[in-house]
Amino acid sequence: MRTGNSASRAYRTAFGEYASKLDALQRLMDSGGPDNGRLEAAMQDVERARQAHNSARDLLAGELAAK
């Protein structure tokens, strides 16, 4: 079963971005005492990336289900 390349590519890109933001947050937390402003910004970045990932996932799933 093949899907449109754009939906698959968008999903992979969104997943990579989400994973990258989570890694950055984890490194910040592991650095020993990050300031609250940087931590809050990193958490917001993760949330935005999660939402983008979920949207891309849902679009890809919808495309797969339609076939």
Model pLDDT for residues 3-51, shown as the tens digit of each residue: 568 999 999 999 999 999 999 999 999 988 768 899 999 999 999 999 9
The DSSP line for 8-37 is: HHHHHHHHHHHHHHHHHHHHHHHTSS--HH
Asked whether 8 and 63 are in contact (CB, 8 A), the reply is no
pTM (predicted TM-score): 0.85
Condensed to tens digits (0 to 9), the pLDDT of residues 25-38 reads 999 999 887 688 99
Report the phi/psi class of residue 32: left, alpha or beta, with left for phi > 0 and alpha for psi in -120 to 50. left
Residues 6+ apart with CB under 8 A from 22: 46, 49
